[in-house]
Amino acid sequence: MIVDAGYVALAIALLTIGYVAVASFVGAWQRIPAMVLSARYGLMTVPVLLLVATIALVYAFVNHDFSVAYVADNSNLAMPASYTWVAFYAGNQGSLLFIALVFSILTVAAVLGMGRKLPYTTPYATSVMAGVLTFFMFVIVFLANPLDRLDSMPFDGQGINPLLIHFGMFIHPPVQMMGLISVAIPFSIAIGALLAGRGGRDEWVDQGRLWGMLSWLLLTIGLLLGSWWAYTILGWGGYWAWDPVENSALMPWLAMTAFVHSIMVQKRRGMFRMWNIVIVAIAFTLAEMGMFINRGGPVPSVHSFAQSTMGWLFLFFMGFTLVASLAAFAWRMNTLRSREKLDSWLSRESAFLAQNVLFLAVAFITLWGTIYPVFSRAAQDVTITVGQPFFDRINGPLLLVIVFLMGVGPLLPWRKASARNVLSVVKVPLIGAAVTADVVAAAGVRQPVAVVAVAVCAIAIIGIVHEWVRGTRSRHSKGESYPVAFGRLLMANRPRYGGYIVHLAITMLAIGAIGSSFYEVQRDFNLKPGETASLADYTLQYTNTTSQRFSDREEVTAHFTVRRGDESLGAMETTRSFYSNFNVSATRAAIRSTLVEDLYIVPSEFGDDGSAVIRVLVSPLVWWMWAAGPLFVFGTLLALSPRRQPAYAAIRVPRGSRPAQA
């Protein structure tokens, strides 16, 4: 009965959210406050209804109710209870319900947060968010209901996809899905402001920035965790392969990165008003494209996990939202003129603009490479897949220029910088970069591209550290101790220094990518027990293999003892599991990670005579990529943390105040 109650709750949620979408718009348009409020109250009930449906599904999983088709497809009696959470979103129907639930909660939070600040914009934004949610609810109720029953109940379920049995799966898919759908919130705020005729004023900017940055953070964490999952479980030794599913998460991230920068220019200078509306619409379109590719789009991918035949419905919805937002933009375009113009091409806002253009260029190149197989099939009847070399060759240099601008841009002042000023702020980072290039070249880095890339990263790092050092010294000279001076410096300008911390994290990512892309070494070995293999400074001795049979899989583990030069590094083991139900093998690599490099061992094949074919990789600097994750979170939260009002504000005359009557 609980499952049936969940079923009913889904239907009621669809009707309610449909009403919210229409009533909020009509109420705002016709200026009927009761209708606007009714829509808002209705919206508040939707997360409750979706929570009832979610509880019903979880209840079915926990009780092994295989009469529910989704439960039978994504779990079995052998599945550990802790994986119920993963099974919930392991398939298409459950992931859609998860997205709807999360989005409804985010929507309520956004509406509550901006209701008083943006009373005119909020009803329109609510209508847009409710419209997006209505689409998802329609798909869930009519095409992908996770609570649909089977005609006859099987004795056991099929089980969860083995590739999802990994710690990272507890966080990566939900965060990734939250990231993609959360782009709808800054998009809705922007379109809401546009529809309300307030797009040309800058009231929506604070809320747009807040939700834009939260969305960006979710996308970032999702991408990082996805890379980590691929690195540790897919067993090919890499973390990024420009696969369509990876690209579908990267593209909205690139557009949102551009947005969170350009929105700052609108906040500070009243500029880029049209650009910001366009860029957030592009970001949402790319997020929808990601969902389309994930759900059975026409592009082949090695690891889309929620395949279905409804991808085209998502494509249609993407087209609809794009056309609707373009129409709203065209309708209100005359209200979107910037308050000011660029004072100079040598300014922080110019650097932001250049960076924006480059981010979009990388996003569109990635899009083109991702959907190229579709065009090649249509034009030549041959599916041509664009591989890693294409993306590396085209996107690599552009990303390097972005890192350069990331290093130099924040050092420039707003409005206008003189040539002398530019020289004075970039002098130290440039000298530092030249020294770094010499050092890495002397250390044996020979590839010119790698040397240039490291030097560009050095500009970004030295620029930030140099400013921190000068700022801390300046405060120290006024009597503060160094730690206090540094802490207060960070706290005094949180958006700026939070952004710097995020930039440091980006540089760490870049350093990891440079090291592992240019200097990774790998070799395959066929070893018998007792034999040794050497790669770089490492020597591995293959000890033996152990096998273990579980109800759902057969697991083979290869054991090694590892030395580096004369130093013993102890034992390492790598596992390969075969899931007969799915006819799928999953590997668990043995990874020894240090600040300098990763030693990575993964099994390819086991022979009957006890021999093992293994792949060994030594990847420099990969650790830095994963270490960047916490910095991303810290920097973003610091940048978003509320600030105290400046002292100057005390002299402002609050609205509504009157001089004292004599």
Which chain residues interact with another protein by CB under 8 A?
Answer: 1, 4-5, 8-9, 12, 15-16, 19, 23, 31, 33-39, 41-42, 44-46, 48-49, 52, 117-121, 198, 201-203, 267-270, 411, 413-418, 420-421, 424-425, 467, 470-471, 473-474, 492-493, 496, 646, 648-649, 652-653, 655, 658-659
Smallest separation (angstroms) from another protein to the CB of 53:
10
What minimum distance in Å lies between the beta carbon of 469 and another protein? Answer: 9
Tokens representing 145 are 């209901």
Shortest Å distance, C-beta 73 to another protein: 25
CA distances from 518 to 154, 329, 446, 510, 625 (A): 52, 44, 10, 12, 15
Residue (417 or 505) nearer to another protein, CB: 417
H or E element at residue 216 = helix 205-229
Q: Which is nearer to another protein, 379 or 662 (CB)?
A: 662
Q: For another protein, which is the closer residue by CB, 113 or 413?
A: 413
Cβ closest to another protein, residue 86 vs residue 412: 412
Comparing CB distances to another protein, the nearer of 210 and 527 is 210
Q: Which long-range contacts (CB under 8 A, 24 or more apart) does 387-396 make?
A: 387/242, 388/241, 388/242, 390/242, 391/242, 391/365, 391/366, 392/517, 394/365, 394/369, 395/362, 395/365, 395/366, 396/449
In this structure, what DSSP letter does residue 238 have?
-
Strand order in the sheet with 567-579: 532-535, 538-549, 554-564, 567-579, 584-588
The minimum distance between CB 494 and another protein, in angstroms, equals 12
Asked if residue 40 lies in contact with residue 127, where contact means CB atoms within 8 angstroms, the answer is: no
The Cα–Cα gap between 585 and 604 comes to 10
Per-residue three-class SS string for 282-293: HHHHHHHHHHHH
576 membership: H or E segment, kind and range:
strand 567-579
DSSP state for residue 646 in the 8-state scheme:
P
Instruction: Report how far residue 76's alpha carbon sits from residue 78's, in angstroms, rounded to the nearest whole number.
Output: 5
The values of phi and psi at residue 72, to 5°, are -65, -35
Q: How far is the CB of 474 from another protein (least distance, A)?
A: 5
CB 645, min distance to another protein, A:
9
CB of 204 to another protein, least distance (A): 9
SS3 assignment for 44-74: HHHHHHHHHHHHHHHHHHHCCCCCEHHHHHH
Nearer to another protein, 34 or 595 (CB): 34
Choice between 159 and 199, CB closer to another protein: 199
In this structure, are strands 584-588 and 567-579 parallel, antiparallel, or unpaired? antiparallel
Strand 590-593: give its sheet, edge to edge: 521-527, 612-620, 597-606, 590-593
Pick 204 or 525: Cβ nearer another protein? 204
- Smaller CB separation from another protein, 197 or 610: 197
- Nearer to another protein by C-beta: 469 or 535? 469
Give the shortest CB-16-to-another protein separation in angstroms. 4
Taking the complex as a whole, the smallest distance from the CB of residue 135 to another protein amounts, in Å, to: 19
CB 580 within 8 A of CB 567: no
- Apex 582 CA angle, 576 and 583, nearest 5: 60
DSSP 128-177: HHHHHHHHHHHHHHHT--TTPBPSS--SS-----GGG-SGGGGTHHHHHH
For the bound state, the minimum distance from the C-beta of residue 476 to another protein, rounded and expressed in Å, comes to 12
Sequence-distant (6+) residues with CB within 8 A of 405 are: 351, 354, 355, 358
For another protein, which is the closer residue by CB, 114 or 502? Answer: 114
Tokens representing residue 575 in the block: 């596992």
Q: Count of CB atoms within 10 A of residue 557's CB?
A: 18
Compare residues 343 and 554 and give the one whose CB is closer to another protein.
Answer: 343
Please count the helices (runs of H) and the strands (runs of E) in the chain.
19, 9
The closest of 467, 293, 298, 295 to 374, measured between CA atoms, is: 298
Which of 189, 245, 183, 244 is closest to 215 using CA atoms? 183
Taking the complex as a whole, the smallest distance from the CB of residue 249 to another protein amounts, in Å, to 33
Query: Which CB sits closer to another protein, 125 or 286?
Result: 125
User: Which of 349, 326, 340, 312 minimizes the C-alpha distance to 280?
Assistant: 326
In whole angstroms, the minimum distance from the beta carbon of 34 to another protein comes to 4
Cβ–Cβ under 8 Å, residues 125 and 39: no
Euclidean distance between the first and final Cα of the chain, in Å? 72
Taking the complex as a whole, how short is the minimal distance between the CB of residue 472 and another protein, in angstroms? 9
Nearer to another protein, 496 or 559 (CB): 496
Closest CA relative to residue 125, chosen from 261, 277, 295, 7: 277
Q: Of the two residues 418 and 481, which places its CB atom closer to another protein in the complex?
A: 418
Among residues 549 and 658, whose Cβ is nearest to another protein? 658
What is the closest distance, in whole angstroms, from the C-beta atom of residue 649 to another protein in the complex?
A: 8
Q: What token pair was written down for 255?
A: 């557009």
**127 or 619: whose CB is closer to another protein?**
127
